[in-house]
A and B are shown apart, each in its own frame.
Chain A
Amino acid sequence: MGLRLPSKVLEHILSFIDSNEDRNSVSLVCKSWFETERKTRKRVFVGNCYAVSPAAVAKRFPEMRSLTLKGKPHFADYNLVPDGWGGYAWPWIEAMAAKCPSLEEIRLKRMVVTDECLEKIAASFKDFEVLVLTSCEGFSTDGIAAIAATCRNLRVLELRECIVEDLGGDWLSYFPETSTSLVSLDFSCLDSEVKISDLERLVSRSPNLKSLKLNPAVTLDGLVSLLRRAPQLTELGTGSFAAQLKPEAFSKLSEAFSNCKQLQSLSGLWDVLPEYLPALYSVCPGLTSLNLSYATVRMPDLVELLRRCSKLQKLWVMDLIEDKGLEAVASYCKELQELRVFPSAPDLDEANIPLTEQGLVFVSKGCRKLESVLYFCVQFTNAALLTIARKRPNLKCFRLCVIEPFAPDYKTNEPLDKGFKAIAEGCKDLRRLSVSGLLSDKAFKYIGKHAKKVRMLSIAFAGDSDLMLHHLLSGCESLKKLEIRDCPFGDTALLEHAAKLETMRSLWMSSCFVSFGACKILSQKMPRLNVEVIDEHPPETRPESSPVERIYIYRTVAGPRMDTPEFVWTIHKNPEIGVSHLAIK
C-alpha cells in the first residue's frame, strides 16, 4: 500500500489547479482524489448541456461558484439547426438554484434563456456577480431588468449577439442608485434607445467600470458624455457614428478619446464615416484589439488608422481592407496574433473581389506571432496555403472559407489537397481547422494523419466518398468536435468508427448521405451516444436506406433527452421500441 496524501494537503495542492482539463485528469487518479477534487472545484464547464444532467453536476460539485454551459451545435449559427431544437437553460438554473445557491457566475452560449430563467437567477443567487449570454435567445429586456434590479453585487452583464425581444430601453433604469459594482456592461445587441441620463448616472457611480459596449442607438453626443465620465475604460464598444459631421462634434470626440489613456480594445463603430476616424488616432498606439468588422470603411482610411496601431494583437475587419490593406497590416502590426476577415457581401451573387489569397500571405509573412486566422475569400491557391504553412508553423486556429463551393486552386485548377496537407503537416499545434474549396478524399487522408492536435474540424462541400470520413475518424487523435455539411458519404465509415464517437463531444452531419438505417444501428450499438435525427419528415415513413436531413450525435451519460421537438427523432436503444420523440408535454 502506497503513501496517501492527506486530503487537506491535496486540497491545498488542488487550489493551484484551475484548468478543467487538469482537474478532470486529477479526478481520474483514484477515488479519494476524485472526492477531494470534486469538493473543491469552483469553475465548472459543461461543453454540451445534454451530455450530463443538471442534477448530477450540482451533486458532484457542491462548491460551484461559476458555471459555463453550451447548448446548440455550432452550425446553429448558420441557420442549420431549426428553431426549437433545444438547449434550454431552465433545467440548469432550476437545479443550481436548489443545490448551489452560492453560485456567482453563469455563462451560457447558444442556449434558450427565458425571462423566467433570468428572474430565477436574480431571485436565487444572493451573491450573483457575472452573467454572460452569447448567441442566446428567448428572453426580453424585462428579464434583463430583473437582473439589473435584484443582483446587488452585479459586476458583469454581457449580452453578446443575442436575439432579445426588445421592449424598450427601460431596463437600464432598473439598476438601483446604490449599485456601484459594475465592471463590464455589454448591451450592443439591443435595438432600443436607453435613456442617456440613466446611463450617464450609472457610469458615473461605477468607478470600477472597465468595459462598456453600447448599442447602435447611442449617439455620438452620448458617447462623448459617457467617455468623459469613464476615462478609465479599457474596452469600449461605440454606438452609432452616423451623425452628420460637425466640426465641434469632431473635436469633442477627439478630446474625449484622447483622455481615455487606458483604452486597449475598441469595437462597435457601426456606420462610421471615414471623416470621424482621425478622432480615434490618439488611442491607436495603445490598442491591442480592434473590431472594424461592422465599419464599411474603404482601404485607404483603414490603412491610415491601422498604421498607427503598432501594438495590435487582434484585428477583425471586412474584406474592404483589400490585399493592399493587409500588406500594410503586415508591416505595421507586428504584434498581431489573431486576424479575422469577414465578407462585406455575404450573399453569393453579390461577391466582387477586393481581396484575394495574397492578403493572407502578406500577413502570414509579416506577422510572426500570428496564430489564429478566420479568412473569407472567393477563391484560393495551393501555393498560398503552402507559403502560409511554411511561414506560420505556430498557427493554432486556421479557418479558411473559400466562398465559392468546390472552387479549385484557380491558378492550376487542382483541388486544394496539397495546400491543406501543408497546413496539417506544418502547423503541429493546430487546434481548430475549417477547410473549404475543392477537396478530394486525399486531403482528409493527410488531415487524419497529421492533424494530431486538432480538436475541432469543420467541413463543407468536400470529399468524394466514405473514405473521407474514414480517414478522419481513424486519425485525428485529439478530435472532439466534427461538423460536416453537404459531403457525399454516409453509413460505412460512420458505423466502422462508432467507438471513436464516444471519445468526441459531438458529430454534426447535414445534407450528407447518412441513412436512417445506419442511425438506428449506431444508436443501438452505442448506449452512451445520443443519435438525434433532425428531419422534418418522419424517418419511419421512408425506406431505411434513405438519407436523413441532419444528424447530431453526442456522447452523454444522461440518456436520451426529454425535451425534443417534433422534428427531432431520438432512436431508442431498445430495437423493439424504434423511434420516438420522448417529448414531455
Chain B
Amino acid sequence: MEKVGVYDELDNLKATELRLGLPGTEETVSCGKSNKRALPNNTEKEIESTGKTETASPPKAQIVGWPPVRSYRKNNIQTKKNESEGQGNYVKVSMDGAPYLRKIDLTMYKQYPELMKSLENMFKFSVGEYFEREGYKGSDFVPTYEDKDGDWMLVGDVPWE
C-alpha cells in the first residue's frame, strides 16, 4: 500500500511521458471479475474507455509498436493505401480543444479558400481573412501545418500547387 504515495509523485513525471502502459495506480486485477479491461491510457489523448460495455467504440489511441508489424511493412502499406484511395492526398487535421482528429483529402480542393471553407465547416469555426503581410485576421484560430523540416508554418503562404 505504501506504493500509492510513490505513484502519486510519479504522476507528474508520467504525465509528460508519451508511452502507453497499464495505469500505474491500478491494483492487480483478479481474473473473472472483468471480462474486458480498459485500454491502456495514453496520457496525451486521455481517451476514456470503460471497457466493460462499449457500444460505440471511440477512436483508439495509438499504442507504440502495436500491432507488432515491422515499420518496413507499415511504411510500404501506408504509401499503397494512399495510392489506392484514388490518388488522394490525405492529411490529418487537429484543432485545439477538439476531441479527435480528422482527415481530409487535399486533392479535393483547388485553392486555399476552398480548403479553409471546408475546415471551417468541419470544425465549426471561422478562420478570418488571409492577408499576405499579416496572416489571418478576424479570428482567434489560425491554420498551421508542419512541413518536412518539422517547422510550423502558416497555411496559405506557399502557392497551392
Interface of A toward B, CB cutoff 8 Å: 75, 77-80, 135, 161, 163, 189, 270-271, 293-294, 296, 342-349, 376, 401, 403, 405-408, 413-415, 438, 440-442, 458, 460-461, 464-465, 485-486, 488, 511, 537, 542-543, 545-547, 549
Beyond A161-B72, A294-B80, A406-B36, whether A511 also contacts B6 by CB under 8 A is: no
Could you say which residues of chain A place their CB within 8 Å of the CB of B67? 343, 346, 348, 376, 401, 403
Contact partner of B31 (CB less than 8 A), chosen from A294, A415, A460, A486, is A415
**Nearest Cβ in chain B — how far from A456, in angstroms?**
14
Could you say which residues of chain A place their CB within 8 Å of the CB of B68? 77-78, 401, 458, 460
Could you say which residues of chain A place their CB within 8 Å of the CB of B63? 348, 405
Could you say which residues of chain A place their CB within 8 Å of the CB of B22? 486, 488, 511
Q: Tell whether, in the assembled complex, residue A271 and residue B80 are in contact, meaning their CB atoms are under 8 Å apart.
A: yes
Q: Tell whether, in the assembled complex, residue A79 and residue B71 are in contact, meaning their CB atoms are under 8 Å apart.
A: yes
Kindly identify, within residues 11 to 69 of chain B, every residue whose CB is under 8 Å from any CB belonging to chain A. 13, 19-22, 24, 26, 28-32, 35-37, 39-40, 51, 59-69
CA of A343 to CA of B81, assembled, Å: 12
Kindly identify, within residues 73 to 105 of chain B, every residue whose CB is under 8 Å from any CB belonging to chain A. 73-74, 76-77, 80-81, 83-84
Could you say which residues of chain B place their CB within 8 Å of the CB of A405? 39-40, 63, 66
The bracket for how many chain B residues form the interface is: 35 or more
- Starting from the known contacts A77-B68, A78-B69, A405-B63, 15 additional A-B residue pairs (CB-CB under 8 Å) come to A78-B64, A78-B68, A343-B67, A344-B77, A347-B62, A349-B62, A376-B67, A405-B39, A413-B35, A415-B31, A415-B35, A438-B36, A461-B40, A485-B65, A546-B10
CA of A90 to CA of B7, assembled, Å: 42
Beyond A270-B80, A346-B67, whether A464 also contacts B6 by CB under 8 A is: no
**Nearest Cβ in chain A — how far from B47, in angstroms?**
11
Could you say which residues of chain A place their CB within 8 Å of the CB of B35? 408, 413-415, 438
**Nearest Cβ in chain B — how far from A524, in angstroms?**
22
Could you say which residues of chain B place their CB within 8 Å of the CB of A461? 40
Cβ-based interface call for B3 (8 A):
yes
Q: Tell whether, in the assembled complex, residue B84 and residue A346 are in contact, meaning their CB atoms are under 8 Å apart.
A: no
**Nearest Cβ in chain A — how far from B16, in angstroms?**
10
**Nearest Cβ in chain A — how far from B138, in angstroms?**
35
Could you say which residues of chain B place their CB within 8 Å of the CB of A547? 24
Closest to A412 in B: B35
Could you say which residues of chain B place their CB within 8 Å of the CB of A485? 65
Cβ-based interface call for B124 (8 A):
no
14 contacts between A and B (CB under 8 A): A77-B68, A80-B64, A80-B65, A296-B81, A346-B73, A348-B63, A408-B36, A415-B35, A441-B31, A460-B66, A460-B68, A488-B22, A488-B26, A488-B29
Closest to A403 in B: B67
CA of A251 to CA of B71, assembled, Å: 36
Cβ-based interface call for B70 (8 A):
yes
Could you say which residues of chain A place their CB within 8 Å of the CB of B74? 346
Could you say which residues of chain A place their CB within 8 Å of the CB of B30? 464
Could you say which residues of chain A place their CB within 8 Å of the CB of B83? 271
**Nearest Cβ in chain B — how far from A394, in angstroms?**
25
Interface of B toward A, CB cutoff 8 Å: 3, 6, 9-10, 13, 19-22, 24, 26, 28-32, 35-37, 39-40, 51, 59-74, 76-77, 80-81, 83-84
Could you say which residues of chain A place their CB within 8 Å of the CB of B73? 293-294, 342, 346
Could you say which residues of chain B place their CB within 8 Å of the CB of A442? 31
Beyond A271-B83, A296-B80, A348-B63, whether A78 also contacts B70 by CB under 8 A is: yes
CA of A546 to CA of B13, assembled, Å: 12
Contact partner of B70 (CB less than 8 A), chosen from A161, A296, A406, A511, is A161
**Nearest Cβ in chain B — how far from A316, in angstroms?**
10
**Nearest Cβ in chain B — how far from A111, in angstroms?**
16
Beyond A294-B76, A486-B40, A511-B21, whether A464 also contacts B62 by CB under 8 A is: no
Q: Tell whether, in the assembled complex, residue B70 and residue A537 are in contact, meaning their CB atoms are under 8 Å apart.
A: no
**Nearest Cβ in chain B — how far from A139, in angstroms?**
16
Closest to A378 in B: B67
CA of A95 to CA of B41, assembled, Å: 47
Could you say which residues of chain A place their CB within 8 Å of the CB of B32? 440
**Nearest Cβ in chain B — how far from A277, in angstroms?**
16
Beyond A488-B29, A511-B21, A537-B13, whether A270 also contacts B65 by CB under 8 A is: no
Closest to A549 in B: B19
CA of A8 to CA of B19, assembled, Å: 59
User: Which are the 3 A-B pairs with shortest beta-carbon distances?
Assistant: A78-B65, A440-B31, A511-B21
Q: Tell whether, in the assembled complex, residue A511 and residue B66 are in contact, meaning their CB atoms are under 8 Å apart.
A: no
Beyond A488-B22, A488-B29, A543-B6, whether A348 also contacts B66 by CB under 8 A is: yes
CA of A79 to CA of B64, assembled, Å: 7
Beyond A349-B60, A511-B19, A537-B13, whether A189 also contacts B72 by CB under 8 A is: yes
Could you say which residues of chain A place their CB within 8 Å of the CB of B60? 348-349
CA of A350 to CA of B112, assembled, Å: 28
Closest to A461 in B: B40
Q: Tell whether, in the assembled complex, residue A346 and residue B69 are in contact, meaning their CB atoms are under 8 Å apart.
A: yes
Closest to B100 in A: A349
Most chain A CB neighbours (cut-off 10 Å) among B10, B19, B60, B65: B65
Most chain A CB neighbours (cut-off 10 Å) among B6, B10, B24: B6
CA of A332 to CA of B18, assembled, Å: 47
Could you say which residues of chain A place their CB within 8 Å of the CB of B3? 545
Closest to B64 in A: A79
CA of A342 to CA of B67, assembled, Å: 10
Q: Tell whether, in the assembled complex, residue B80 and residue A343 are in contact, meaning their CB atoms are under 8 Å apart.
A: no
**Nearest Cβ in chain B — how far from A548, in angstroms?**
11
**Nearest Cβ in chain B — how far from A298, in angstroms?**
11
